[in-house]
């Protein structure tokens, strides 16, 4: 039986800007089960980030209900929200958001040092293990400026993983990466998902969404389409084919031709 990690119902978000109201979400219902790899697609301004910020307990909906991993979120205090976020969620952003002049291992260790539950004792060892998990065990002491974009995003993914979240939320995680590096990052998300982590990725790129198992299309603050992908592409296979120089219909080929 599948267990819902996310259950939202009738979620609306209205931003008030002086006299005007912006209807960012106009009533969204969504259930995401444990183990899903979901892509949220939609053009710029459609409400993807607003939805993500609500799912991530970074923002509060104007109306509607939200249950995260069995916990009722709407109506919670800011402090309780922050605790829930720290216990359940890992975030990955388009711009990596790493601290400059700070080593990879220190960046990954940071959420453990800020954790108030006292769950984590050997923080350094946990940070090292998370970096090894994303293939950066040999780059522990590198600062962001000494790493490629793809490596920086993998450090950010390790930082999201280190607290052992139930759910990874990634908002345009490949938006700043070239096409091959984007596939590498998607291969990592697919591998983590195969290990049992539920992953939600926002993207406006169809090439990226085809690595998900389910795609929802958001338009004007509503879910317009919600469909399972029968046979998602394997990012690892696509990488192998690219490395072998094979003439495959690789996602990056179509993008660069566009
Ligand atoms: P997307 O991530 O799909 O590009 P967003 O969720 O960022 O879309 O934005 C949805 C709509 O809400 C847009 O019209 C945007 O201008 C508006 N919006 C987003 N954040 C704010 C905010 N903090 N204040 C006012 N309007 C906002
Ligand atoms: Mg956005």
Q: What is the CATH number of the domain that holds 86?
A: 3.40.50.300
pLDDT score recorded for residue 97:
96
Q: Which two tokens stand for residue 13?
A: 């978000």
The better pLDDT of the pair 114, 201 is held by 201
Cβ–Cβ under 8 Å, residues 43 and 219: yes
pLDDT of residue 248: 55
How would residue 256 be classed by pLDDT, with cut points 50, 70 and 90?
Answer: very low
The total of structural domains in the chain comes to 1
Task: Place 257 in a pLDDT band, splitting at 50, 70 and 90.
Answer: very low
Q: According to the model, what pLDDT value does residue 246 have?
A: 73
Testing ligand 1's pocket by substitution, the residue of 11, 12, 15 carrying the most ligand atoms inside 8 A of its CB is 15
pLDDT at 245: 86
Boundaries of domain holding 142: 4-257
- For residue 179 and ligand 1, the question of a CB distance below 6 A is answered with no
pLDDT tens column, 19-66 = 999 999 999 999 999 999 999 999 999 999 999 999 999 999 999 999
For residue range 112-142, what is the model confidence (pLDDT) as tens digits? Answer: 998 888 889 999 999 999 999 999 999 999 9
pTM of the entire structure?
0.93
Residue 117 confidence (pLDDT): 82
Model confidence at 253: pLDDT above 70: no
> For ligand 1, atom 10, which residue shows the shortest CA distance?
47
Ligand 1 proximity of 230 Cβ (cutoff 6 Å): no
pLDDT in the model for residue 249: 54
Structure tokens at 234: 């394997």
Measured by CA distance, the residue closest to atom 16 of ligand 1 is: 45
Answer whether residue 111 shows pLDDT above 50: yes
pLDDT at 203 > cutoff 90: yes
- Please state the rounded mean pLDDT for residues 232-239: 96
Q: What kind and span of H or E run contains 183? A: helix 179-194
CA separation for the pair 139, 58 (Å, rounded): 31
Question: Which helix H or strand E contains 44, and what residues bound it?
Answer: none
Span 96-107, average pLDDT: 97
203 lines ligand 1 (CB under 6 A): no
Instruction: Indicate which residue's Cα is closest to atom 22 of ligand 1.
Output: 15
Residue with CA closest to ligand 1 atom 12:
24
* Res. 1: pLDDT tops 80: no
Mean pLDDT, the chain, rounded, equals: 93
For residues 13-21, give the mean pLDDT.
Answer: 95
φ/ψ of 51, rounded to 5, equals: -60, -45
- Closest-lying ligand to the alpha carbon of 24? 1
Ligand 1 atom at minimum distance from 218 CA: 3
| Ligand 1 binding pocket includes 165 (Cβ within 6 Å) | no
Q: Is the CB of 103 under 6 A from ligand 1?
A: no
**Ligand 1 centre distance from Cα of residue 174 (Å):** 20
Please state the atom number of ligand 1 nearest to the C-alpha of residue 42: 3
Half-sphere exposure of 212 (CA within 13 A, CB side): 26
> Distance (Å, rounded) from C-alpha 87 to C-alpha 44?
30
Report the alpha-carbon distance of residue 138 to residue 204 in Å, rounded.
33
CA–CA separation, 57 and 37 (whole Å): 19
C-alpha to C-alpha distance for 21 and 221, rounded to whole angstroms: 13
């Amino acid at each position: 039986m599948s267990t819902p990690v996310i259950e939202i119902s009738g979620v609306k978000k209205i931003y008030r800007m002086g006299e005007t109201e912006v209807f960012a979400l106009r009533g969204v219902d969504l259930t995401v089960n444990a183990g899903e790899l979901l892509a949220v697609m939609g053009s710029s301004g459609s409400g993807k980030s607003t939805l993500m910020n609500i799912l991530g307990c970074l923002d509060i909906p104007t109306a509607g209900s939200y249950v995260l991993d069995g916990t009722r979120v709407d109506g919670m205090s800011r402090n309780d929200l922050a605790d829930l976020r720290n216990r359940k969620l890992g975030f990955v952003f388009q711009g990596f958001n790493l601290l400059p002049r700070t080593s990879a291992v220190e960046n990954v260790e940071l959420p453990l040092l800020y954790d108030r539950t006292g769950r984590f004792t050997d923080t350094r060892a946990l940070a090292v293990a998370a970096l090894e998990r994303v293939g950066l065990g040999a780059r522990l002491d590198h600062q962001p400026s000494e790493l490629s974009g793809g490596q920086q995003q993998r450090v950010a993914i390790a930082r999201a993983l280190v607290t052992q979240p139930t759910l990874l939320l990634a908002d345009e995680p490949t938006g700043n990466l070239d096409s091959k590096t984007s596939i590498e990052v998607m291969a990592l998300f697919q591998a983590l998902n195969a290990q049992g982590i539920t992953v939600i990725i926002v993207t406006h790129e169809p090439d990226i969404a085809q690595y998900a198992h389910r795609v929802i299309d958001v338009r004007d603050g509503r879910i317009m389409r919600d469909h399972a992908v029968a046979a998602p592409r394997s990012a690892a296979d696509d990488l192998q084919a690219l490395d072998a120089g094979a003439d495959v219909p690789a996602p990056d080929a179509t993008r660069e031709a566009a």
